[in-house]
Chain A
Amino acid sequence: MTKPLVFGALTLLLVAPSGCRKQSGGSGAVGEEVTLNASGATFQQAFQEVAIEAFTKKHPNIRINYGAGGSGKGRQDFADLVVDFACTDAPYKAADLASLRGGEMYYVPNVLGAITVTYNLKGVDKLQLSPEVLARIFQREITRWDDPAIAADNPGVPLPATGIVVARRSDGSGTTENFTRYLQLAAPGAWKLNAGATVEWPADTQAGNGNSGVAQIVKSTPGAIGYVDLSDAKASGLRYAAIKNAAGNYVEPTLEATSAAGEGIAVQDDLIFSALNSSAPNAYPITAQSWCMLYAKQPGTAKGAAVKAYFEFMVTDGQALLEEVDFAPIPKSLQDKALAQIQNVQVP
């Protein structure tokens, strides 16, 4: 008679915990514990980390988890309502907006960041490149550093007779998407690979994983050139080129030049814009933008309020944190528009 008893006890053990769990949870007062889950762009991960730290210090009842799995994953997770908000380097395509399960949504621009063209060339401290030359280098049409086309961009600079090694991303990446989109915009005749998170790089290019992987290849390979975001380029102590912008000036990727790219850009009503190939005279032309996205009608009270508060923080006080992670703030006019957009969000 003991065995059925044992089985009964086992069944109870297995069932009991799941029965009890229902009692916790529930909704209630302001100030209760809230956990927000988010995913998306790796490009602005460093900013998210410092912003979340500063924000949750002020609001100890809120926890935010940002999973940097890529812009595409962020858009997918956001559309499927898997996360409370998401961040992306590129907006949805028009056809996809219908697939968003949470209905109407807002884009909130929050960072501008420079994508540097880093290089490893002994004796060349300053390098200037025009978009056409850049396009031909990354398509392996220019394969030596002493090519006349590079020399034409760098009068008086002795260029070594070294082969060029092109480093690019092995993983699909918003950085690649923005870099190739820039080449498409600025060198429409020369760039033939189209723009995207993964493009058909020539086979004799070197692939590295993440910004740090590309930086690593450039650093360890004499004659290498690659595109890396500013903070990783700085962290690896790499040199980066001045790029000829739309106004015809060679500009280095400084925070001021990145900020300048945000001035005088055309912003749509839904706050979609492109800072790439900015027409401002002192702008760094390969400046990428990133957005976070939230639904116009928040499903939960406590979560909705927390999401709203965090988004407000990101476009106001949070902007001051950008510099320490080598990003530039969005222009004041855009901050105001973003804030107005966030006020429109409805919380039940």
Chain B
Amino acid sequence: MPDELPGGVLRGPQAHADRAFRGIAIGAAALVLLILGMIALVMADRARPVLAEMGLDFFTSKRWSPPHEKFGALPFLFGTLYTAAIALAISVPVSLGVALFVTQVAPRWLKKPMIYLLDLLAVVPSVVFGLWGVLVLSQHFGLGRSFLTAGIILGIMITPIITSLAREVMETTPAAEKEAALALGATRWEMIRAAVLPHSKGGLVGAVMLGLGRAMGETIAAALVIGSALGQITLDPFAPGNSMPAVIANEWGEADHMHRSALIALAVALFLLTIVVNLIATAIVQRSMARSRGKS
């Protein structure tokens, strides 16, 4: 039995292990911050030329013309948000429905294989979704390359993630609460509304926000099907458009100077956008958790 000092610090042979473990843990944590900081620093530095040249116009101008050295990112900002919104509109009802089915409705023998299939869908590489989108949605169903095609593909891509998280959250509903609802004569749907949904609200919002983050950042699948139209801001879902990651992927290889700087500035903007979305998500989750705790 090693001597124990106040504060739970061990002395003797185990102290080495303890210290080593602590060092590794702190090092790993510091590394994450360091990498994130370095990414932000280098990107901001490389983006500076275009921001100095264009100023706020970079975020508010519609015109993106590399040969004329005009870089306005507004259409791509719009395209990113618009396709992500389409993706959520498709994905959220489906994901929550599937998660409810798997956790509350499905017979036991069906549950396992369904979970397995859903997880399988989550690991399909995005380029596969993209190519499928080109071949099936664009060509076979004649949707062309458009906001809608990209939105559908993104919606399909984020469904497994949202489903998987939503399922985990719903599983944690205490059996006592569900049984209480049923014992009071609630139907299955009333039980879901009274017990499962209120209990998992925070987690569900988090799941959706995670899906949103992925939809906004998805590169290859979007680049393949979105249509790569420059300067397009329209709510017409059948119009070809562009999104920030798709522009970066498409134009990076041939970009130099200002153009390269502008693409990096796009990446910075995307970085900030995802951070903002994440902060909003965290705030929503915390508020709804605080509220549900206050209620009970």
A contact residues vs B (CB 8 Å cutoff)? 1, 3-4, 7, 42, 69-73, 75-76, 93, 96, 170-174, 177, 180, 193-201, 203, 205-207, 209, 220
Pair A4/B16 contact, Cβ less than 8 Å: yes
What are 25 A-B contacts with C-beta separation under 8 Å?
A1-B13, A4-B16, A42-B253, A72-B253, A72-B254, A73-B252, A73-B253, A73-B254, A76-B260, A170-B228, A171-B250, A172-B252, A172-B255, A194-B68, A197-B66, A197-B251, A198-B251, A201-B229, A206-B144, A206-B240, A207-B145, A207-B227, A207-B228, A207-B229, A209-B224
Provide the bound-state CA to CA distance between A196 and B229, in Å.
16
Q: Hey, which chain A residues are within 8 Å of B257, CB to CB?
A: 93, 96
Provide the bound-state CA to CA distance between A206 and B225, in Å.
11
Provide the bound-state CA to CA distance between A131 and B233, in Å.
31
In the complex, the 10 A-B pairs of residues with the closest C-beta atoms, listed nearest first: A70-B253, A196-B67, A172-B254, A197-B254, A170-B228, A194-B67, A207-B228, A72-B254, A172-B251, A171-B250
Across the interface, B65 reaches (CB within 8 A) one of A200, A206, A207, namely: A200
Q: Hey, which chain A residues are within 8 Å of B253, CB to CB?
A: 42, 69-73, 171-173
Q: Does chain A have a CB within 8 A of B270?
A: no
Pair A199/B67 contact, Cβ less than 8 Å: yes
Across the interface, A220 reaches (CB within 8 A) one of B16, B68, B139, namely: B139
Q: With both chains docked as a complex, state the minimum distance between the C-beta of B42 and any C-beta of chain A, in angstroms.
A: 14
Provide the bound-state CA to CA distance between A221 and B257, in Å.
36
Identify which of B20, B139, B255, B256 gathers the most chain A CB atoms within 10 Å of its CB.
B256
Q: Hey, which chain B residues are within 8 Å of A93, CB to CB?
A: 256-257
Q: With both chains docked as a complex, state the minimum distance between the C-beta of B153 and any C-beta of chain A, in angstroms.
A: 15
Pair B250/A200 contact, Cβ less than 8 Å: no
With contact pairs A206-B144, A207-B229 given, residues A198 and B254 touching in the complex (Cβ less than 8 Å): yes
Q: Hey, which chain A residues are within 8 Å of B78, CB to CB?
A: none
Q: With both chains docked as a complex, state the minimum distance between the C-beta of A94 and any C-beta of chain B, in angstroms.
A: 12
Using an 8 Å CB-CB cutoff, how does the interface string of B213-230 with A read, 1 for contact, 0 for none? 000000000011001111
Residue pairs across A and B with CB atoms within 8 Å: the count is 105
Using an 8 Å CB-CB cutoff, how does the interface string of B250-290 with A read, 1 for contact, 0 for none? 11111111011000000000000000000000000000000
SS class, residues of chain B in contact with chain A? helix
Closest residue of chain B to A1 (Cβ to Cβ) is B13
Apart from the given pairs A76-B256, A207-B240, A220-B139, 7 other A-B contacts in the complex at a CB distance below 8 Å: A172-B250, A172-B253, A174-B254, A194-B67, A199-B65, A205-B229, A206-B240
Across the interface, A200 reaches (CB within 8 A) one of B64, B240, B256, namely: B64
Q: Hey, which chain A residues are within 8 Å of B25, CB to CB?
A: none
Q: Hey, which chain A residues are within 8 Å of B256, CB to CB?
A: 72, 75-76, 93, 96
Q: With both chains docked as a complex, state the minimum distance between the C-beta of A181 and any C-beta of chain B, in angstroms.
A: 10
Q: Hey, which chain B residues are within 8 Å of A3, CB to CB?
A: 13-14, 16-17
Pair B13/A4 contact, Cβ less than 8 Å: yes
Q: Does chain A have a CB within 8 A of B239?
A: yes
Q: With both chains docked as a complex, state the minimum distance between the C-beta of A282 and any C-beta of chain B, in angstroms.
A: 31
Provide the bound-state CA to CA distance between A110 and B147, in Å.
41
Provide the bound-state CA to CA distance between A193 and B231, in Å.
14
Q: With both chains docked as a complex, state the minimum distance between the C-beta of A42 and any C-beta of chain B, in angstroms.
A: 8
Provide the bound-state CA to CA distance between A193 and B139, in Å.
29
Pair B144/A209 contact, Cβ less than 8 Å: no
Q: With both chains docked as a complex, state the minimum distance between the C-beta of A80 and any C-beta of chain B, in angstroms.
A: 12
Closest residue of chain B to A181 (Cβ to Cβ) is B67
Closest residue of chain B to A174 (Cβ to Cβ) is B254
Q: Hey, which chain A residues are within 8 Å of B65, CB to CB?
A: 194, 199-200
Pair B228/A195 contact, Cβ less than 8 Å: no
Interface residues of B in 60-89 (CB under 8 A from A): 63-68
Pair A203/B17 contact, Cβ less than 8 Å: no
Interface residues of B in 132-166 (CB under 8 A from A): 139, 144-145
Q: Hey, which chain B residues are within 8 Å of A1, CB to CB?
A: 13
Provide the bound-state CA to CA distance between A197 and B231, in Å.
16
With contact pairs A171-B250, A194-B65 given, residues A7 and B20 touching in the complex (Cβ less than 8 Å): yes
Q: Hey, which chain A residues are within 8 Å of B14, CB to CB?
A: 3
Pair B254/A70 contact, Cβ less than 8 Å: yes
Closest residue of chain B to A4 (Cβ to Cβ) is B16
